[in-house]
């Protein structure tokens, strides 16, 4: 079956290969979050994006690979329910932006900076800081697929709009500024977006609505 990005709690993961990176998407309880395992097809090194729930499931999906890190896209409690168990069982380092470090249930092993390169096996990912949903929210960008870039956006970008900023105009403005400058500005329409909840989207599908998001203020 071709990759669709449609996953449900208790259902099978969805898997695709994007250049030298194998992408596994799975929905986890208790809060129906998306978790992603990014595996270098050459080395087997695997990065987990958001240890949101069901640690045994996430660890099993590593398979015969090696979990080399857990990146938390942000520190909200629904995205970290399995973090302590995964970190303890695997020994993998925990990575987060310093703006959200204090929100995690375990101390992070590495703090992420905007624009830095995070290498998984032979696959370089770029850290994109998107302030607003939380102070330290990040996305990860993979540009090693000749067909399209791939962006794991956490809760900063969804089909239909930016992440929740709790009707705070300053937070909303910062998030929209970052999205326009770091996502909609430089990235092409075919860029695939993997959010922290729900279905995937593309930059091109969302781009026409950006002025409307600005106007509505959320």
SS3 120: strand
Confidence of residue 157 (pLDDT cuts 50, 70, 90): very high
pLDDT for residue 1 is more than 90: no
Average pLDDT, stretch 16-32? Answer: 97
Q: Extract long-range pairs of 172-180: CB within 8 Å, 24+ residues apart.
A: 172/132, 172/217, 172/218, 173/132, 174/131, 174/132, 175/130, 175/131, 175/132, 175/133, 176/132, 176/210, 176/213, 176/214, 178/129, 178/130, 178/131, 178/132, 179/130, 179/210, 180/210
Q: Is the pLDDT of residue 34 over 90?
A: yes
Q: Where are the domains of the chain?
A: 14-216
Question: DSSP string spanning 44-65?
Answer: -EEEEE---S-HHHHHHHHTTS
Q: Provide the pLDDT confidence category of residue 71 given band limits of 50, 70 and 90.
A: very high
pTM over 0.75? The answer is yes
112-120 contact pairs (CB < 8 A, 24+)? 112/71, 112/138, 114/138, 118/47, 118/69, 118/71, 120/21, 120/38, 120/39, 120/40, 120/45, 120/46, 120/47, 120/68, 120/69
148 neighbors 191 (Cβ within 8 angstroms):
yes
pLDDT in tens, 98-132: 999 999 999 999 999 999 999 999 999 999 999 99
Average pLDDT over the chain reads: 98
Q: What 3-state DSSP class applies to 100? A: helix
Under 8 Å between Cβ of 24 and 37: yes
The CATH fold assigned to 14-216 is Metallo-beta-lactamase; Chain A (3.60.15)
């Amino acid at each position: 079956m071709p990759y669709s990005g449609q996953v449900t709690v208790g259902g099978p993961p969805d898997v695709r290969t994007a250049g030298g990176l194998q992408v596994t998407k799975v929905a986890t309880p208790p809060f129906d979050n998306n978790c992603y395992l990014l595996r270098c097809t050459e080395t087997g090194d695997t990065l987990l994006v958001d240890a949101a729930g069901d640690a045994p499931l996430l660890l099993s999906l590593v398979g015969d690979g090696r979990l080399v890190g857990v990146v938390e896209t942000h520190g909200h409690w629904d995205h970290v329910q399995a973090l302590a168990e995964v970190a303890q069982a695997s020994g993998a380092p925990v990575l987060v932006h310093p703006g959200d470090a204090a929100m995690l249930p375990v101390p992070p092993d590495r703090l992420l900076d905007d624009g830095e390169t995070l290498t998984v096996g032979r696959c370089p990912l770029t850290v994109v800081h998107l302030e607003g949903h939380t102070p330290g929210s990040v996305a990860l960008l993979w540009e090693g697929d000749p067909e399209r870039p791939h962006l794991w956006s956490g809760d900063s970008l969804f089909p239909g709009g930016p992440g929740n900023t709790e009707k705070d105009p300053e937070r909303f403005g910062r998030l929209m500024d970052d999205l326009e400058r770091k996502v909609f500005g430089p990235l092409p329409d075919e860029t695939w977006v993997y959010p922290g909840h729900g279905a995937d989207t593309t930059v091109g599908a969302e781009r026409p609505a950006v002025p409307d998001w600005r106007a509505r203020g959320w």
